[in-house]
Protein backbone atom coordinates (compact mmCIF):
# COMPACT_ATOMS: atom_id res chain seq x y z
CA UNK A 1 0.00 0.00 0.00
CA UNK A 2 1.32 3.40 -0.92
CA UNK A 3 2.05 5.77 2.01
CA UNK A 4 -0.36 8.31 0.54
CA UNK A 5 -3.24 5.93 1.05
CA UNK A 6 -2.70 5.98 4.80
CA UNK A 7 -3.09 9.74 5.18
CA UNK A 8 -5.99 12.04 4.69
CA UNK A 9 -5.66 14.19 1.53
CA UNK A 10 -4.60 17.19 3.56
CA UNK A 11 -2.10 15.10 5.54
CA UNK A 12 -0.02 14.01 2.56
CA UNK A 13 3.56 15.29 2.90
CA UNK A 14 4.50 17.83 0.26
CA UNK A 15 7.54 15.78 -0.72
CA UNK A 16 5.31 12.89 -1.85
CA UNK A 17 3.34 15.13 -4.21
CA UNK A 18 6.40 16.21 -6.20
CA UNK A 19 7.26 14.96 -9.67
CA UNK A 20 9.41 11.86 -9.88
CA UNK A 21 12.88 12.17 -11.46
CA UNK A 22 13.42 10.57 -14.87
CA UNK A 23 16.85 8.92 -14.43
CA UNK A 24 18.00 6.30 -11.95
CA UNK A 25 21.00 8.29 -10.68
CA UNK A 26 19.03 11.49 -10.49
CA UNK A 27 16.22 9.57 -8.85
CA UNK A 28 18.45 8.36 -6.02
CA UNK A 29 19.91 11.79 -5.33
CA UNK A 30 16.60 13.56 -5.67
CA UNK A 31 14.90 11.04 -3.39
CA UNK A 32 17.41 11.69 -0.64
CA UNK A 33 16.86 15.43 -0.97
CA UNK A 34 13.11 15.14 -1.18
CA UNK A 35 12.71 12.72 1.73
CA UNK A 36 14.88 14.89 3.94
CA UNK A 37 12.01 17.38 3.91
CA UNK A 38 9.22 14.83 4.35
CA UNK A 39 8.77 15.32 8.09
CA UNK A 40 5.15 16.02 9.01
CA UNK A 41 4.47 19.27 10.84
CA UNK A 42 1.41 20.22 12.83
CA UNK A 43 0.75 23.91 13.50
CA UNK A 44 0.14 24.92 17.11
CA UNK A 45 -3.58 25.49 17.59
CA UNK A 46 -4.54 28.53 19.64
CA UNK A 47 -7.97 29.91 20.50
CA UNK A 48 -9.24 32.92 18.61
CA UNK A 49 -9.91 35.04 21.65
CA UNK A 50 -10.33 38.82 21.48
CA UNK A 51 -8.99 40.53 24.60
CA UNK A 52 -10.40 43.74 26.12
CA UNK A 53 -8.38 46.87 25.60
CA UNK A 54 -8.81 48.10 29.19
CA UNK A 55 -9.95 46.83 32.56
CA UNK A 56 -13.51 47.42 33.68
CA UNK A 57 -12.38 48.33 37.21
CA UNK A 58 -10.41 51.50 37.86
CA UNK A 59 -6.68 50.80 37.83
CA UNK A 60 -4.25 52.93 39.85
CA UNK A 61 -1.07 54.32 38.32
CA UNK A 62 1.98 52.83 40.02
CA UNK A 63 5.36 51.32 39.31
CA UNK A 64 5.73 47.91 37.71
CA UNK A 65 5.69 44.69 39.71
CA UNK A 66 9.04 43.35 40.86
CA UNK A 67 9.82 39.68 41.36
CA UNK A 68 10.13 40.25 45.13
CA UNK A 69 6.73 41.94 45.31
CA UNK A 70 6.07 40.91 48.94
CA UNK A 71 8.70 43.37 50.13
CA UNK A 72 6.36 46.20 49.13
CA UNK A 73 4.37 45.49 52.33
CA UNK A 74 7.33 46.71 54.37
CA UNK A 75 7.65 43.65 56.61
CA UNK A 76 11.10 42.19 57.23
CA UNK A 77 9.53 39.18 58.96
CA UNK A 78 7.36 38.44 55.92
CA UNK A 79 10.41 38.69 53.67
CA UNK A 80 12.26 36.16 55.83
CA UNK A 81 9.27 33.80 55.81
CA UNK A 82 8.94 33.88 52.03
CA UNK A 83 12.65 33.19 51.60
CA UNK A 84 12.46 30.31 54.05
CA UNK A 85 9.46 28.81 52.28
CA UNK A 86 11.21 29.03 48.91
CA UNK A 87 14.14 27.07 50.35
CA UNK A 88 12.30 24.42 52.36
CA UNK A 89 8.69 24.07 51.20
CA UNK A 90 7.77 20.46 50.31
CA UNK A 91 5.37 21.70 47.61
CA UNK A 92 8.15 23.59 45.83
CA UNK A 93 10.53 20.65 46.11
CA UNK A 94 7.87 18.40 44.59
CA UNK A 95 7.52 20.81 41.67
CA UNK A 96 11.33 20.89 41.28
CA UNK A 97 11.49 17.10 41.09
CA UNK A 98 8.84 17.15 38.38
CA UNK A 99 11.07 19.45 36.35
CA UNK A 100 13.94 16.99 36.77
CA UNK A 101 11.68 14.12 35.67
CA UNK A 102 10.70 16.09 32.56
CA UNK A 103 14.37 16.73 31.79
CA UNK A 104 15.10 13.01 31.96
CA UNK A 105 12.06 12.22 29.81
CA UNK A 106 13.45 14.59 27.19
CA UNK A 107 16.75 12.76 27.29
CA UNK A 108 14.94 9.45 26.80
CA UNK A 109 13.05 10.82 23.79
CA UNK A 110 16.14 12.45 22.32
CA UNK A 111 18.12 9.21 22.57
CA UNK A 112 15.95 7.72 19.80
CA UNK A 113 17.49 10.16 17.33
CA UNK A 114 20.85 8.38 17.65
CA UNK A 115 21.95 4.89 16.62
CA UNK A 116 21.96 2.10 19.18
CA UNK A 117 25.11 0.00 19.68
CA UNK A 118 25.21 -3.35 21.48
CA UNK A 119 28.32 -5.36 22.22
CA UNK A 120 28.09 -9.03 23.06
CA UNK A 121 30.42 -11.92 23.60
CA UNK A 122 30.22 -15.62 24.31
CA UNK A 123 32.44 -18.63 24.79
CA UNK A 124 31.43 -22.26 25.15
CA UNK A 125 32.41 -25.93 25.15
CA UNK A 126 30.22 -28.81 23.99
CA UNK A 127 30.89 -32.57 24.33
CA UNK A 128 28.90 -35.10 22.31
CA UNK A 129 28.88 -38.88 22.92
CA UNK A 130 26.54 -40.89 20.71
CA UNK A 131 26.80 -44.12 22.78
CA UNK A 132 27.15 -46.18 19.61
CA UNK A 133 30.89 -46.75 19.70
CA UNK A 134 31.64 -43.73 17.58
CA UNK A 135 34.26 -41.23 18.64
CA UNK A 136 33.42 -38.58 21.18
CA UNK A 137 33.28 -35.11 19.68
CA UNK A 138 34.03 -31.85 21.36
CA UNK A 139 33.49 -28.34 20.08
CA UNK A 140 34.81 -25.10 21.43
CA UNK A 141 33.92 -21.60 20.38
CA UNK A 142 34.41 -17.97 21.29
CA UNK A 143 32.86 -14.96 19.64
CA UNK A 144 32.45 -11.20 19.98
CA UNK A 145 29.71 -9.32 18.14
CA UNK A 146 28.87 -5.66 17.69
CA UNK A 147 25.34 -4.78 16.56
CA UNK A 148 24.17 -1.36 15.43
CA UNK A 149 20.66 -0.19 14.65
CA UNK A 150 19.19 3.08 13.48
CA UNK A 151 15.71 4.19 12.51
CA UNK A 152 15.59 6.81 9.79
CA UNK A 153 13.18 9.44 11.03
CA UNK A 154 11.87 10.10 7.54
CA UNK A 155 8.44 11.40 8.58
CA UNK A 156 9.54 13.18 11.74
CA UNK A 157 7.85 10.86 14.24
CA UNK A 158 10.82 10.70 16.59
CA UNK A 159 11.49 14.43 16.21
CA UNK A 160 7.83 15.12 17.06
CA UNK A 161 8.16 13.01 20.21
CA UNK A 162 11.22 15.06 21.14
CA UNK A 163 9.25 18.27 20.52
CA UNK A 164 6.50 16.95 22.76
CA UNK A 165 9.02 16.17 25.51
CA UNK A 166 10.53 19.66 25.15
CA UNK A 167 7.08 21.22 25.51
CA UNK A 168 6.44 19.06 28.57
CA UNK A 169 9.73 20.23 30.07
CA UNK A 170 8.86 23.87 29.39
CA UNK A 171 5.44 23.33 30.93
CA UNK A 172 6.94 21.75 34.06
CA UNK A 173 9.27 24.72 34.46
CA UNK A 174 6.35 27.10 34.12
CA UNK A 175 4.46 24.99 36.67
CA UNK A 176 7.41 25.34 39.03
CA UNK A 177 7.30 29.12 38.63
CA UNK A 178 3.54 29.08 39.21
CA UNK A 179 4.02 26.97 42.34
CA UNK A 180 6.64 29.40 43.60
CA UNK A 181 4.31 32.35 43.01
CA UNK A 182 1.42 30.55 44.69
CA UNK A 183 3.63 29.62 47.64
CA UNK A 184 4.77 33.22 48.16
CA UNK A 185 1.15 34.44 47.98
CA UNK A 186 -0.03 31.75 50.42
CA UNK A 187 2.73 32.60 52.90
CA UNK A 188 1.85 36.29 52.73
CA UNK A 189 -1.88 35.67 53.07
CA UNK A 190 -1.48 33.23 55.95
CA UNK A 191 0.92 35.59 57.73
CA UNK A 192 -1.55 38.46 57.39
CA UNK A 193 -4.36 36.23 58.67
CA UNK A 194 -2.24 35.36 61.70
CA UNK A 195 -1.57 39.03 62.43
CA UNK A 196 -5.26 39.85 61.98
CA UNK A 197 -6.29 37.11 64.42
CA UNK A 198 -3.81 38.41 66.96
CA UNK A 199 -5.22 41.91 66.47
CA UNK A 200 -8.77 40.64 66.91
CA UNK A 201 -7.71 38.78 70.05
CA UNK A 202 -6.20 41.99 71.43
CA UNK A 203 -9.42 43.85 70.65
CA UNK A 204 -11.54 41.11 72.24
CA UNK A 205 -9.47 41.22 75.43
CA UNK A 206 -9.65 45.02 75.56
CA UNK A 207 -13.42 44.84 75.08
CA UNK A 208 -13.61 42.29 77.88
CA UNK A 209 -11.71 44.71 80.13
CA UNK A 210 -14.15 47.49 79.18
CA UNK A 211 -17.14 45.26 79.91
CA UNK A 212 -15.69 44.28 83.29
CA UNK A 213 -15.05 47.95 84.13
CA UNK A 214 -18.66 48.84 83.32
CA UNK A 215 -19.81 45.85 85.41
CA UNK A 216 -17.97 47.22 88.41
CA UNK A 217 -19.70 50.58 87.89
CA UNK A 218 -23.10 48.87 87.67
CA UNK A 219 -22.43 46.85 90.83
CA UNK A 220 -21.47 50.01 92.74
CA UNK A 221 -24.64 51.72 91.56
CA UNK A 222 -26.63 48.63 92.51
CA UNK A 223 -25.15 48.68 96.01
CA UNK A 224 -26.08 52.34 96.27
CA UNK A 225 -29.59 51.63 95.09
CA UNK A 226 -29.15 53.52 91.80
CA UNK A 227 -29.29 50.42 89.59
CA UNK A 228 -31.49 47.38 89.47
CA UNK A 229 -30.51 43.72 89.62
CA UNK A 230 -31.63 43.52 85.98
CA UNK A 231 -28.89 46.01 85.06
CA UNK A 232 -26.31 43.86 86.87
CA UNK A 233 -27.54 40.73 85.09
CA UNK A 234 -27.42 42.42 81.69
CA UNK A 235 -23.86 43.62 82.15
CA UNK A 236 -22.74 40.23 83.46
CA UNK A 237 -24.19 38.71 80.30
CA UNK A 238 -22.11 41.15 78.24
CA UNK A 239 -18.98 40.17 80.17
CA UNK A 240 -19.64 36.46 79.68
CA UNK A 241 -20.30 36.99 75.97
CA UNK A 242 -16.98 38.77 75.60
CA UNK A 243 -15.17 35.95 77.42
CA UNK A 244 -16.86 33.37 75.18
CA UNK A 245 -15.68 35.22 72.06
CA UNK A 246 -11.99 34.78 72.94
CA UNK A 247 -11.46 30.96 72.82
CA UNK A 248 -12.60 30.55 69.15
CA UNK A 249 -10.18 33.27 68.10
CA UNK A 250 -7.38 31.53 70.02
CA UNK A 251 -8.16 28.27 68.22
CA UNK A 252 -8.09 30.02 64.85
CA UNK A 253 -4.78 31.65 65.72
CA UNK A 254 -3.18 28.30 66.60
CA UNK A 255 -4.52 26.66 63.44
CA UNK A 256 -3.30 29.52 61.26
CA UNK A 257 0.11 29.36 62.91
CA UNK A 258 0.40 25.63 62.15
CA UNK A 259 -0.78 26.18 58.58
CA UNK A 260 2.01 28.72 58.12
CA UNK A 261 4.50 26.23 59.52
CA UNK A 262 3.45 23.66 56.92
CA UNK A 263 4.02 26.20 54.14
CA UNK A 264 7.50 26.83 55.53
CA UNK A 265 8.33 23.14 55.68
CA UNK A 266 8.56 23.21 59.48
CA UNK A 267 7.11 21.00 62.18
CA UNK A 268 3.84 22.74 63.21
CA UNK A 269 4.72 22.71 66.91
CA UNK A 270 8.02 24.57 66.40
CA UNK A 271 6.88 27.83 64.80
CA UNK A 272 7.05 30.87 67.06
CA UNK A 273 6.64 34.24 65.37
CA UNK A 274 7.24 37.60 66.97
CA UNK A 275 4.64 39.24 64.75
CA UNK A 276 3.92 42.92 64.21
CA UNK A 277 0.97 45.28 64.37
CA UNK A 278 -1.41 44.92 61.47
CA UNK A 279 -1.73 48.65 60.93
CA UNK A 280 2.04 49.07 60.53
CA UNK A 281 2.07 47.13 57.26
CA UNK A 282 2.10 49.13 54.05
CA UNK A 283 -0.56 48.46 51.45
CA UNK A 284 1.10 48.89 48.07
CA UNK A 285 -0.57 50.31 44.99
CA UNK A 286 -0.38 47.90 42.05
CA UNK A 287 -0.76 48.81 38.39
CA UNK A 288 -2.28 46.01 36.28
CA UNK A 289 -1.01 47.07 32.85
CA UNK A 290 -3.05 46.07 29.81
CA UNK A 291 -5.21 42.93 29.58
CA UNK A 292 -3.23 41.72 26.55
CA UNK A 293 -0.03 41.79 28.61
CA UNK A 294 -1.49 39.22 30.98
CA UNK A 295 -0.75 36.38 28.52
CA UNK A 296 3.00 36.82 29.00
CA UNK A 297 2.91 37.71 32.70
CA UNK A 298 1.44 34.56 34.24
CA UNK A 299 3.33 31.25 34.41
CA UNK A 300 0.13 29.21 34.50
CA UNK A 301 -0.91 30.64 31.12
CA UNK A 302 2.58 29.94 29.77
CA UNK A 303 2.22 26.35 30.97
CA UNK A 304 -1.13 26.01 29.21
CA UNK A 305 0.42 27.36 26.01
CA UNK A 306 3.30 24.89 26.30
CA UNK A 307 0.71 22.13 26.57
CA UNK A 308 -0.71 23.31 23.22
CA UNK A 309 2.73 22.96 21.64
CA UNK A 310 3.06 19.47 23.08
CA UNK A 311 -0.38 18.48 21.79
CA UNK A 312 0.53 19.63 18.27
CA UNK A 313 3.72 17.56 18.39
CA UNK A 314 1.72 14.53 19.55
CA UNK A 315 -0.63 14.91 16.58
CA UNK A 316 2.35 15.05 14.21
CA UNK A 317 3.83 11.92 15.83
CA UNK A 318 0.53 10.06 15.54
CA UNK A 319 0.23 11.03 11.87
CA UNK A 320 3.80 9.94 11.16
CA UNK A 321 3.11 6.55 12.74
CA UNK A 322 0.73 5.84 9.84
CA UNK A 323 3.66 5.87 7.39
CA UNK A 324 6.33 3.21 6.79
CA UNK A 325 9.26 2.91 9.16
CA UNK A 326 12.77 2.37 7.83
CA UNK A 327 15.38 0.56 9.90
CA UNK A 328 19.09 0.27 9.19
CA UNK A 329 21.09 -2.39 10.97
CA UNK A 330 24.62 -3.64 10.87
CA UNK A 331 26.62 -6.26 12.66
CA UNK A 332 30.25 -7.33 12.86
CA UNK A 333 31.90 -10.10 14.76
CA UNK A 334 34.94 -12.22 15.46
CA UNK A 335 34.72 -15.96 16.07
CA UNK A 336 37.20 -18.75 16.86
CA UNK A 337 37.05 -22.48 17.52
CA UNK A 338 38.89 -22.16 20.81
CA UNK A 339 37.77 -21.57 24.36
CA UNK A 340 38.34 -18.16 25.92
CA UNK A 341 40.49 -17.01 23.03
CA UNK A 342 40.13 -14.86 19.95
CA UNK A 343 43.43 -15.87 18.34
CA UNK A 344 43.28 -16.27 14.53
CA UNK A 345 39.58 -15.40 14.35
CA UNK A 346 37.24 -15.43 11.44
CA UNK A 347 35.26 -12.26 10.97
CA UNK A 348 31.81 -11.43 9.67
CA UNK A 349 30.18 -8.16 8.64
CA UNK A 350 26.56 -7.64 7.69
CA UNK A 351 24.50 -4.65 6.65
CA UNK A 352 20.76 -4.57 6.12
CA UNK A 353 17.84 -2.23 5.66
CA UNK A 354 14.20 -2.96 6.30
CA UNK A 355 10.93 -1.22 5.63
CA UNK A 356 7.83 -1.98 7.68
CA UNK A 357 4.31 -0.78 6.97
CA UNK A 358 1.20 -1.58 8.95
CA UNK A 359 -1.38 -3.00 6.55
CA UNK A 360 -4.21 -3.67 8.97
CA UNK A 361 -4.49 -2.90 12.67
CA UNK A 362 -8.21 -2.58 13.14
CA UNK A 363 -8.04 1.22 12.97
CA UNK A 364 -5.72 1.53 15.96
CA UNK A 365 -3.31 4.06 14.43
CA UNK A 366 -6.16 6.12 12.97
CA UNK A 367 -7.84 6.16 16.37
CA UNK A 368 -4.60 7.39 17.93
CA UNK A 369 -4.52 10.30 15.47
CA UNK A 370 -8.12 11.23 16.26
CA UNK A 371 -7.45 10.88 19.98
CA UNK A 372 -4.45 13.22 19.68
CA UNK A 373 -6.53 15.76 17.76
CA UNK A 374 -9.29 15.56 20.37
CA UNK A 375 -6.71 16.12 23.10
CA UNK A 376 -5.44 19.12 21.14
CA UNK A 377 -8.95 20.61 20.95
CA UNK A 378 -9.43 19.95 24.66
CA UNK A 379 -6.26 21.85 25.52
CA UNK A 380 -7.29 24.74 23.28
CA UNK A 381 -10.48 25.09 25.32
CA UNK A 382 -8.51 24.67 28.54
CA UNK A 383 -6.25 27.53 27.46
CA UNK A 384 -9.28 29.67 26.58
CA UNK A 385 -10.81 29.00 29.99
CA UNK A 386 -7.50 29.80 31.73
CA UNK A 387 -7.38 33.18 29.98
CA UNK A 388 -10.97 33.95 31.00
CA UNK A 389 -10.21 32.95 34.58
CA UNK A 390 -7.08 35.09 34.66
CA UNK A 391 -8.97 38.14 33.40
CA UNK A 392 -11.67 37.59 36.03
CA UNK A 393 -9.13 37.23 38.83
CA UNK A 394 -7.52 40.55 37.94
CA UNK A 395 -10.88 42.31 37.70
CA UNK A 396 -12.00 40.89 41.05
CA UNK A 397 -8.75 41.82 42.75
CA UNK A 398 -8.88 45.36 41.34
CA UNK A 399 -12.47 45.81 42.48
CA UNK A 400 -11.82 44.38 45.94
CA UNK A 401 -8.76 46.60 46.42
CA UNK A 402 -10.65 49.79 45.63
CA UNK A 403 -13.80 48.96 47.58
CA UNK A 404 -11.95 47.66 50.64
CA UNK A 405 -9.91 50.87 50.78
CA UNK A 406 -13.08 52.97 50.77
CA UNK A 407 -14.72 50.76 53.37
CA UNK A 408 -11.70 50.98 55.66
CA UNK A 409 -11.89 54.78 55.63
CA UNK A 410 -15.59 54.69 56.49
CA UNK A 411 -15.06 52.04 59.14
CA UNK A 412 -12.36 54.16 60.75
CA UNK A 413 -14.85 57.01 61.04
CA UNK A 414 -17.43 54.63 62.51
CA UNK A 415 -14.91 53.43 65.09
CA UNK A 416 -14.05 56.99 66.15
CA UNK A 417 -17.73 57.80 66.70
CA UNK A 418 -18.29 54.51 68.53
CA UNK A 419 -15.45 55.25 70.96
CA UNK A 420 -16.86 58.73 71.59
CA UNK A 421 -20.36 57.32 72.08
CA UNK A 422 -19.16 54.79 74.69
CA UNK A 423 -17.29 57.47 76.67
CA UNK A 424 -20.37 59.70 76.71
CA UNK A 425 -22.69 56.80 77.55
CA UNK A 426 -20.53 55.74 80.52
CA UNK A 427 -20.34 59.33 81.77
CA UNK A 428 -24.09 59.87 81.49
CA UNK A 429 -24.75 56.51 83.16
CA UNK A 430 -22.55 57.43 86.13
CA UNK A 431 -24.45 60.69 86.46
CA UNK A 432 -27.79 58.94 86.16
CA UNK A 433 -28.77 60.74 82.98
CA UNK A 434 -29.12 57.53 80.91
CA UNK A 435 -29.93 53.92 81.69
CA UNK A 436 -27.71 50.87 81.19
CA UNK A 437 -29.26 49.96 77.82
CA UNK A 438 -27.54 52.99 76.27
CA UNK A 439 -24.19 51.82 77.60
CA UNK A 440 -24.78 48.25 76.40
CA UNK A 441 -25.67 49.45 72.93
CA UNK A 442 -22.56 51.68 72.82
CA UNK A 443 -20.39 48.71 73.91
CA UNK A 444 -21.79 46.43 71.20
CA UNK A 445 -21.29 49.13 68.58
CA UNK A 446 -17.67 49.69 69.63
CA UNK A 447 -16.85 45.96 69.76
CA UNK A 448 -18.29 45.42 66.29
CA UNK A 449 -16.57 48.49 64.82
CA UNK A 450 -13.14 47.47 66.13
CA UNK A 451 -13.45 43.90 64.89
CA UNK A 452 -14.77 45.00 61.51
CA UNK A 453 -11.89 47.44 61.07
CA UNK A 454 -9.35 44.69 61.73
CA UNK A 455 -11.04 42.41 59.22
CA UNK A 456 -11.18 45.18 56.61
CA UNK A 457 -7.48 45.81 57.08
CA UNK A 458 -6.89 42.11 56.48
CA UNK A 459 -9.11 42.24 53.39
CA UNK A 460 -7.06 45.11 51.95
CA UNK A 461 -3.83 43.22 52.51
CA UNK A 462 -5.12 39.98 51.01
CA UNK A 463 -6.64 41.88 48.07
CA UNK A 464 -3.22 43.32 47.31
CA UNK A 465 -1.70 39.83 47.48
CA UNK A 466 -4.45 38.49 45.20
CA UNK A 467 -3.76 41.25 42.69
CA UNK A 468 -0.03 40.55 42.71
CA UNK A 469 -0.73 36.86 42.17
CA UNK A 470 -3.34 37.47 39.46
CA UNK A 471 -0.84 39.65 37.57
CA UNK A 472 1.88 37.02 37.74
CA UNK A 473 3.94 38.47 40.57
CA UNK A 474 6.47 40.14 38.28
CA UNK A 475 7.13 36.89 36.39
CA UNK A 476 8.57 36.93 32.89
CA UNK A 477 9.28 33.90 30.66
CA UNK A 478 12.97 34.76 30.45
CA UNK A 479 13.26 35.11 34.25
CA UNK A 480 11.99 31.66 35.18
CA UNK A 481 13.76 30.18 38.17
CA UNK A 482 16.24 27.40 37.47
CA UNK A 483 15.73 24.40 39.73
CA UNK A 484 17.92 21.66 41.02
CA UNK A 485 17.38 18.75 43.42
CA UNK A 486 18.57 20.97 46.26
CA UNK A 487 16.30 23.92 45.44
CATH code, 116-152+324-357: 2.20.200
3-state SS string for the chain = CCHHHHCCHHHCCHHHHCCCCCCHHHHHHHHHHHHCCCCCCCCCCCCCCCCCCCCCCCCCCCCCCCCCHHHHHCCHHHHHHHHHHHHHCHHHHHHHHHHHHHHHHHHHHHHCCCCEEEEEEEEEEEEECCCCCCCCEEEEEEEEEEEEEEEECCCCHHHHHHHHHHHHHHHHHHHHHHHHHHHHHHHHHHHHHHHHHHHHHHHHHHHHHHHHHHHHHHHHHHHCCCCCHHHHHHHHHHHHHHHHHHHHHHHHHHHHHHHHHHHHCCCHHHCCCCCCCHHHCCCCCCCCCCHHHHHHCCHHHHHHHHHHHHHHHHHHHHHHCCCCEEEEEEEEEEEECCCCCCCCCEEEEEEEEEEECCCCCCCHHHHHHHHHHHHHHHHHHHHHHHHHHHHHHHHHHHHHHHHHHHHHHHHHHHHHHHHHHHHHHHHHHHCCCCCHHHHHHHHHHHHHHHHHHHHHHHHHHHHHHHHHHHCCCCCCHHHCCCCCCCC
pLDDT of residue 18: 41
pLDDT at residue 141 tops 80:
yes
**Amino acid 205: pLDDT:** 93
Homologous superfamily of domain range 69-113+158-322+365-471: Outer membrane efflux proteins (OEP) (1.20.1600.10)
Residue 61 has pLDDT above 70, yes or no: no
- The whole-model pTM stands at 0.82
Query: So what's the pLDDT on residue 8?
Result: 45
Percent of the chain at pLDDT above 70?
89
Q: Where, residue-wise, is CATH 2.20.200 in the chain?
A: 116-152+324-357
Instruction: Give the pLDDT mean for 54-78.
Output: 84
Quote the pLDDT of residue 62. 60
**Where in the chain do CATH 1.20.1600.10 domains reside?**
69-113+158-322+365-471
| Averaged pLDDT, 1-29 | 44
The per-residue pLDDT of the chain, averaged, comes to 85
Please determine, for residue 487, whether its predicted confidence score (pLDDT) is greater than 70.
Answer: no
With a cut of 50, say whether residue 87 has pLDDT above it. Answer: yes
- Return the pLDDT at 28: 38
Amino acid sequence: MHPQALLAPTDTPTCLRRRRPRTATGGLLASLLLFSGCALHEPIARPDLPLPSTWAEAAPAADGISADWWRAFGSTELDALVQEAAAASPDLRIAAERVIQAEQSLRVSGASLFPSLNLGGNTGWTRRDANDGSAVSETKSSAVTLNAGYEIDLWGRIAANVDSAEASLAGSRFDYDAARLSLSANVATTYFQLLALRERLRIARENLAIAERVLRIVEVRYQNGSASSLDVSRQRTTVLSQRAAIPPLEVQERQTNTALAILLGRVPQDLRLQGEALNTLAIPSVTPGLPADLLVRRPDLASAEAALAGASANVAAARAALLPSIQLSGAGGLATATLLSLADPSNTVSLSASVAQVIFDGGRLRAQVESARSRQRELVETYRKAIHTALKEVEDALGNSGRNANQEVLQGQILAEAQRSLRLAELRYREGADDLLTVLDAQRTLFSAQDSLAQLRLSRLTSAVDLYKALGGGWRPETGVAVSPQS
